[in-house]
Amino acid sequence: MIEEILNKNTPNKTDLIQLLQTEDLDMQHLFRKSKEVKEQTVQNKVYFRGLIEFSNICRKDCLYCGIRKSNNKVHRYNIEDEEILKAARFAYENHFGSLVLQSGEQKSPAFTKRITNLLDGIQTLSKGSLRVTLSCGEQERETYKQWYEHGAARYLLRIETSDRNLYAKLHPNDALHDFDQRLQCLYNLKDLGYQTGSGVMIGLPFQTIESLADDLLWMQTMDLDMVGMGPYLEHEETPLYAFRYLLMSQQKRFELSLKMIACLRILMKDINIAATTALQAIDKGGREKALKIGANVIMPNITPGKFRNDYHLYSNKPSTDENLEDCKRCLEIRIYLQDNKIAYDEWGDSKHYHNRMTKTKTIKRVPDREIC
């Protein structure tokens, strides 16, 4: 039965539901298949993205997130530009190839300008050799355009769930937390030429397996280049904590996340998939397990140590007291153990992006030839 599904090139919704429900031997079978697809399409390379969580200031109030605006127990920080550039230099000197600037959602002309300056600074210090990904939330199209023109090549904006009814349960009901607006941002990013990434949380209260299968199909329809997704983890200082009695065990959420990654690798063979930190919060070697069965990107946290404890999206967020060198070395060893090679000094662009750009160009060229 599972064999039959796994032999298909593209699973449909019913297939995905079945795959997400596999256990024991069937689940191992699924993982074997996704590992095989990974090795055939993106090889067993792992790309590093140095992650700089440069500010936890956020104007949003998402009901699941530890750094939501209303959580006044959070110590808010904003790392000085100079220190951000120092961390970027660390990524450059350690051959990471790529880095991610992430923050809570802020939106103002000053913020736009600040990111633009940082992008310029990173281009200068790395002589244009560091690929920069931004993850700074919903912004105006003009802002995205400006950042793109200053060297940001990739953007991550998770949809959190593609089910608009579930989305409404996870967010305040106001214009600042509008599902369609978020979707529009993703369309704008793609249209502007970004390698576009999104993702969802797995094991949320009220979430069903059907809804997760739809998430995977949504990613396919959106033709995403990159995906980061991981287990939902409850945080005491958030409204969603009241619904923790609805949750499956953390171990089950972890397993389900691995199954989502495996299914996605089978469904979207040439995209970049991140092994997210939330996986590591449940299982110490969680990210490495994800790399083994389909993920190909890992984001070592290179935020200056003194700020790490304040970027608490969820409880048990790991790596908060590692220093940068330790963090790199231990990852290296663990990745080595999982038969994956670290691709130093490579951008590790999404193959999918290049494939779809080539396709678009080909399609555009056809009418030209007909006109001639």
Residues forming the site for ligand 5AD (CB under 6 A): 64-65, 158, 160, 201, 232-233, 235, 278, 313-314
Q: Where are the beta strands (DSSP E) in the chain?
A: 45-48, 50-55, 98-103, 131-135, 152-156, 195-198, 201-202, 226-228, 230-231, 272-275, 297-298, 341-342
- Count how many residues are written for the chain: 372
Q: CB of residue 320 vs ligand 5AD: minimum separation in angstroms?
A: 15
C-beta separation of 225 from 272 below 8 A: yes
User: By C-beta, is 147 or 314 nearer to ligand 5AD?
Assistant: 314
Nearer to ligand 5AD, 96 or 314 (CB): 314
| Residue 242 DSSP code | G
For the CB of residue 238, give the shortest distance to ligand 5AD in the complex, in Å.
7
Nearer to ligand 5AD, 130 or 204 (CB): 204
Q: How far is the CB of 177 from ligand 5AD (least distance, A)?
A: 13
Nearer to ligand 5AD, 131 or 158 (CB): 158
Shortest distance (Å) from residue 297 CB to ligand 5AD: 15
The least CB distance from residue 8 to ligand 5AD, in Å, is 30
> Of the two residues 119 and 233, which places its CB atom closer to ligand 5AD in the complex?
233
DSSP secondary structure, 164-184, as one string: HHHHHHHS-SSGGG-HHHHHH
- Contact between residue 157 and residue 137 where contact means Cβ atoms under 8 Å apart: yes
Alpha-carbon distance of 53 to 302, in angstroms, equals 8
Other beta carbons within 10 angstroms of residue 327's beta carbon come to 16
Q: How far is the CB of 138 from ligand 5AD (least distance, A)?
A: 11
* CA–CA dist 236, 201 (Å, integer): 17
User: Tokens 């576009």 — which residue?
Assistant: 196
Nearer to ligand 5AD, 15 or 160 (CB): 160
CB 20 within 8 A of CB 70: no
